[in-house]
């Protein structure tokens, strides 16, 4: 994979069969391990060579001033950037005084494997030093899904053919030097040496460093403990310095003898806790991990993932690459949110520093829908994080002269981090996206406690924003003007259809919960008059439509804009934002990513099948997919409109976004939303899954290349398995009470252990829509 000969296609692993320095940075993202709290990029154990060193703690960031050529009221004054925390991965190796550096000597073999069922990254290699000494190195790495602060490495060296004097230096390293920014706006701002030392410690097999960020004032503690196994003549010794703590293990190995170091690393951070408290916290985490040891961590990891795959696996017959890719996608989506626990899920997860580690609307509209049906506890935690950031969102709304909450376009801690208004703050739809996630989660789980304690407040405060942001015209129609929808090539527009439809759903949902939870509503100051105003705005919401063309407009007046000169745009001028001024993009009919098309998925009840087909045909030739968020949405609607071959090609694009580095920036971290979109394309696209209230609907159809598609879902205390072939769909209730679903509109009752099968009707034939020149998806 990564379009490189050294990557193999296998159903449950990503395997690199030789070291390829030309894709080293990309592979570090692909092989990254995380649990949503701790993230380790897939750097080599020895630390060098590397593309981008990366060890992250969710929520640890540094602030920096946001420069403006001309200041303006309401512009954020400072930005937030994820930082590379103390690196506990490093285990340097010296063989007969020669550093084990794969750029020197002779590398006989090198293989790395990301095992998606066991949740570990394994590495084996043989190397001959410049002096001719041969060693075999094996390592296994994990970031624990069961012990939130723990990551661990087992590192083993074996002498091959002759005696070898070996030294392993296990280190904690802070303030590693980072590569300079490459000028891509999607990359992170490189902050050099952001950590100020507060404590360094080495005693016996234990290491610890405590630092504090210079400006954000966050305290970060990282500690490591070791179990060393080797010949009797093995020695150990520790030392510490402000930015380095090291355990040195030395031995002489006869042929066939091995030296093994099991390293357990604990991480913690706080903006409030004292230095002694943080030191105690990571020491306690090490003690808890030592209870079961390395074997216990490995066993717990497998048990956790066995349970996850039992409820989340997607099986694809007919395309081995997509089968591998969807499991890779599900694994990384799980890693991004499993133990985030009231923290954000960043756009890159914890696999890299791209987008400065910020969370966007991607979380609510792409990542959470997957987790809702596979790991719903993580969804509740992510939405509680949004609730925890409400004070900052209320303050931002007040600054803008609005009521309620204005959630940030991009953030780590809750403050707006976007310095560009048109494609930042003006994208108010993030409010409705959060509300949409609340409604979807409650509908799928029936979690009334969450709805009462978290959902009501989020829905009320987001609804208040829409009522104050929009206005009624002289005819009583409600408009929301001067906003940016999902398409960032159409900014500061009036009545963006996606925004208006999502806002309408937000307003109605808020009015409903106020009626269901009057005591909570009273505490929030939401009365019957305000609720009635929300319903009035929702019912009179303007939805732009061009009757002459018979299509919905992306925003009011969009269809009268001049079309972009696609014929005059070269293939090497994509993405357009890197080659053309925004001014030119904003006034033309060109779409960066699915916008109106996304509305047809999220608000599907608002469109009949004919309008879905016509709208899709109109917007396809305008959509250039300069965003990784687009292909999966286009796959879903292409499948619904009957364009199964096109949907298949878009599915592959979403699925292989990182495994083939399609946007040439996988080095900065994985595209977590596009990975989630792989599931969306398969389940909502070819599975035709939609939710209507508390009922699931399916309208499955497979592309020619697929002989079978199977997936499982969790829904309202039930586990449903769906298996689709070219001829039929079979629904099996694996657990829980009987449930009613719809299959191509027909009501079906599914009882426990009683599979029910139904024929799959052929799609209606429609002419295939065109795409812009150079932007047709790669044909499978």
As annotated, the active-site residues are 488
Nearest partner of 322 among 727, 703, 771, 724, judged by Cα: 703
Number of residues assigned to the chain: 780
C-alpha span between 642 and 762 (Å, rounded): 9
Sheet holding 235-241, edge to edge: 98-99, 91-95, 164-173, 244-253, 235-241
Crossing angle between the packed helical segments 320-337 and 672-680, to the nearest 10 degrees? 120
Asked whether the beta carbons of 493 and 486 are under 8 A apart, the reply is no
Per DSSP bridges, beta strands 562-563 and 588-589 are parallel
- Give the C-alpha separation, 456 to 530, whole Å: 14
The DSSP result for 646-669, as a single string, is: HHHHHHHHHHTTTTTTTTS-GGG-
Question: Which residues have C-beta within 8 Å of that of residue 46, sequence separation ≥ 6?
Answer: 90, 91, 92, 93, 99, 100, 101, 102
CB 172 within 8 A of CB 244: yes
Q: How far is CA 331 from the centre of its chain?
A: 11
Gap between the Cα atoms of 304 and 307, Å rounded:
5
Q: Which residues contact 477 (CB under 8 A, 6 or more apart)?
A: 540, 541, 542
Strands annotated E in 116-194: 120-128, 134-143, 150-159, 164-173
Q: Note whether 168 and 249 are within 8 A (CB).
A: yes
Phi first, then psi, for residue 174 (nearest 5°) are -110, 155
* Residue 202 to residue 198: CA distance in whole angstroms: 14
421, 776, 445: which is closest to 625 by C-alpha?
776
Residue 428 in 3-state DSSP? Answer: coil
Helix (H) or strand (E) holding 197: strand 195-203
Q: Residue 185 contacts by C-beta under 8 Å, 6 or more apart in sequence?
A: 577
Q: Taking the CA of residue 664 as centre, how many other CA atoms within 13 Å lie in the half-sphere pointing to its CB?
A: 6
């Amino acid at each position: 994979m990564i379009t490189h000969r050294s990557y193999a296609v296998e159903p449950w692993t990503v395997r690199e069969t030789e070291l390829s320095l030309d894709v080293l940075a990309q592979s570090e993202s692909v092989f990254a391990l995380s649990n949503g709290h701790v993230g380790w990029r897939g750097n080599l154990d020895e630390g060098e060579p590397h593309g981008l060193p990366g060890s992250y703690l969710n929520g640890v960031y540094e602030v920096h001033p946001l420069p403006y050529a001309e200041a303006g009221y309401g512009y954020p004054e400072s930005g937030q950037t994820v930082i590379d925390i103390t690196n506990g991965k490093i285990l340097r190796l010296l063989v007969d005084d020669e550093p084990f550096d794969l750029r020197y000597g002779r590398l006989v073999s090198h293989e790395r494997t990301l095992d998606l069922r066991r949740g570990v990254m394994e590495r084996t290699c043989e190397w001959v030093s410049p002096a001719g000494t041969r060693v075999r190195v094996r390592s296994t790495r994990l970031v624990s899904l069961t012990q939130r602060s723990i990551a661990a490495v087992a590192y083993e060296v074996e002498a091959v053919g002759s005696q070898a004097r070996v030294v392993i230096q296990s280190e904690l390293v802070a303030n590693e030097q980072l590569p300079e920014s490459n000028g891509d706006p999607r990359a992170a701002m490189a902050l050099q040496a952001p950590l100020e030392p507060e404590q360094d410690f080495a005693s016996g097999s234990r290491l610890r460093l405590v630092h504090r960020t210079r400006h954000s004032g966050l305290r970060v503690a990282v500690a490591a403990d070791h179990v060393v196994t080797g010949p009797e003549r093995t020695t150990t010794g520790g030392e510490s310095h402000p930015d380095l703590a090291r355990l040195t293990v030395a031995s002489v190995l006869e042929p066939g003898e091995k030296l093994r170091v099991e390293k357990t690393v604990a991480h913690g951070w706080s903006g409030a806790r004292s230095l002694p408290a943080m030191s105690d916290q990571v020491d306690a985490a090490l003690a808890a991990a030592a209870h079961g040891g390395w074997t216990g961590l490995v066993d717990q990891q497998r048990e956790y993932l066995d349970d996850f795959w039992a409820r989340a696996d997607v099986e694809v017959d007919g395309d081995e690459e997509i089968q591998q890719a969807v499991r890779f996608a599900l694994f990384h989506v799980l890693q991004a949110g499993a133990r985030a626990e009231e923290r954000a899920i960043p756009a890159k997860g914890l696999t890299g520093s791209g987008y400065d580690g910020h969370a966007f609307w991607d979380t609510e509209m792409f990542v959470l829908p997957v987790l809702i049906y596979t790991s719903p506890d993580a969804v509740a935690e992510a939405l509680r994080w949004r609730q925890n950031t409400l004070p900052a969102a209320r303050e931002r709304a007040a600054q803008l002269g609005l009521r309620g909450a204005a959630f940030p376009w991009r953030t780590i801690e809750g403050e707006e981090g976007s310095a560009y208004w048109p494609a930042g703050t003006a994208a108010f739809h993030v409010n409705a996206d959060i509300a949409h996630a609340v409604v979807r989660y409650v509908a799928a789980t029936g979690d009334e406690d969450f709805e009462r304690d978290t959902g009501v407040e989020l829905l009320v405060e987001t609804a208040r924003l829409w009522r104050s942001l929009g206005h009624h015209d002289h005819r009583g129609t409600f408009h929301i003007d001067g906003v940016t929808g999902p398409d960032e090539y159409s900014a500061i527009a009036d009545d963006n259809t996606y925004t208006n439809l999502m806002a309408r759903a937000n307003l109605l949902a808020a009015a409903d919960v106020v009626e269901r939870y009057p005591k909570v509503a009273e505490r929030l100051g939401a009365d019957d008059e305000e609720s009635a105003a929300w319903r009035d705005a929702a019912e009179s919401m303007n939805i732009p439509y061009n009757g002459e063309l018979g299509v919905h407009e992306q925003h009011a007046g969009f269809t009268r804009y001049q079309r972009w000169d696609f014929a005059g745009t070269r293939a090497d001028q994509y993405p357009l934002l890197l080659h053309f001024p925004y001014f030119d993009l904003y006034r033309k009919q060109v779409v960066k990513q699915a916008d109106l098309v996304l509305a047809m998925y999220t608000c599907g009840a608002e469109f009949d099948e004919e309008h879905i087909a016509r709208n899709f045909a109109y917007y396809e030739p305008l959509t250039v997919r300069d965003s990784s968020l687009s292909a999966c949405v286009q796959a879903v609607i292409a499948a619904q409109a009957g364009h199964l071959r096109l949907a298949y090609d878009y599915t592959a694009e979403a699925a292989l976004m990182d495994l083939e580095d399609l946007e040439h920036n996988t080095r900065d971290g994985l595209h977590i939303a596009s990975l989630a979109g792989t599931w969306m394309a398969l389940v909502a696209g070819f599975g035709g899954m939609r939710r209507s209230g508390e009922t699931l609907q399916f309208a499955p159809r497979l592309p020619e290349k697929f002989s079978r598609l199977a997936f499982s879902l969790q829904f309202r205390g039930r586990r449903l398995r769906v298996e689709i072939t070219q001829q039929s769909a079979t629904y099996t209730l694996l657990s829980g009470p009987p449930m009613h679903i719809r299959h191509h509109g027909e009501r079906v009752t599914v009882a426990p252990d009683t599979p029910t099968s139904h024929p799959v009707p052929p799609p209606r034939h429609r002419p295939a829509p065109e795409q812009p020149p150079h932007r047709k998806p790669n044909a499978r």
